[in-house]
């Protein structure tokens, strides 16, 4: 009558440079692994259909929505979350977000920032059109996106200037 319990699997991921090994139900999503097992709550859940992008993180160099993948699928992977971005100093994308007033409530911000980091990594000199296109998978209800696009543009500029120095 009662459903049988879901099988438990031990999953190891390198999250922000630290090895995280936890036994989890096989239905555990990456975002649940990060939030509930690693206690990294900077990665947010804003929907249940993989539309909002609040849970965007970087896995093995690509930004993904952490609600679209099971933790067990990623055993051994390297994950960067918003908490792992600032290395002493703020990351240029973080800096640009605050300087351009690209956040209000801040709930979509971690996902926006992670999607932007990946966008700039793959296109160091994006046009505003390309930025808007690149952020199509991330929803924000407060800012109207104008300052977010400006911030990513600004961050790319900062990063290009930084790499020439």
The residue from 68, 141, 160, 161 that contacts other proteins (CB under 8 A) is 141
Q: Does 161 bind other proteins (CB under 8 A)?
A: no
Length of the chain: 165
Q: How far is the CB of 78 from other proteins (least distance, A)?
A: 17
Of 34 and 74, CB closest to other proteins: 34
In angstroms, give the least distance from the CB of 138 to other proteins: 7
Q: Considering the complex, what minimum distance in angstroms separates the CB of residue 105 from other proteins? A: 3
Euclidean distance between CA atoms 30 and 78, whole angstroms: 12
Q: How far apart are CA 110 and CA 74, in angstroms?
A: 21
Which regions of 17-129 does DSSP assign to beta strands (E)?
Answer: 18-25, 56-59, 62-65, 78-80
Number of Cα atoms under 13 Å in the Cβ half of residue 73: 12
Phi, psi of 69 (to 5 degrees): -140, 140
Which residues contact other proteins by CB under 8 A?
A: 1-3, 5-6, 25, 27, 35, 40-49, 51-52, 54, 81-83, 85-86, 90, 94, 97-101, 103-110, 113, 128-129, 131-133, 135-136, 138-149
């Amino acid at each position: 009558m009662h459903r049988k319990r879901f099988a438990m699997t031990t999953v190891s991921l390198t999250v922000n440079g630290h090895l995280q090994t936890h036994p989890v139900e096989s239905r555990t999503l990456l975002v649940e692994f990060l939030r509930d097992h690693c206690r990294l709550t900077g990665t947010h859940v804003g929907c249940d259909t993989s539309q909002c992008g609040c849970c965007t993180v970087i896995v093995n160099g690509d930004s993904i929505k952490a609600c679209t993948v099971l933790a067990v699928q990623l055993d051994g992977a390297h994950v960067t979350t918003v908490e792992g971005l600032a290395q002493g100093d703020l990351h240029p994308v973080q800096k640009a977000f605050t300087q351009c007033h690209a956040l209000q409530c801040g709930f979509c911000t971690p996902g926006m920032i992670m999607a932007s980091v990946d966008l700039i990594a793959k296109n160091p000199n994006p046009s505003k059109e390309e930025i808007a296109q690149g952020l199509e998978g991330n929803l924000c209800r407060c800012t109207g996106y104008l300052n977010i696009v400006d911030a990513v543009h600004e961050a790319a500029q900062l990063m290009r200037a930084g790499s020439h120095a």
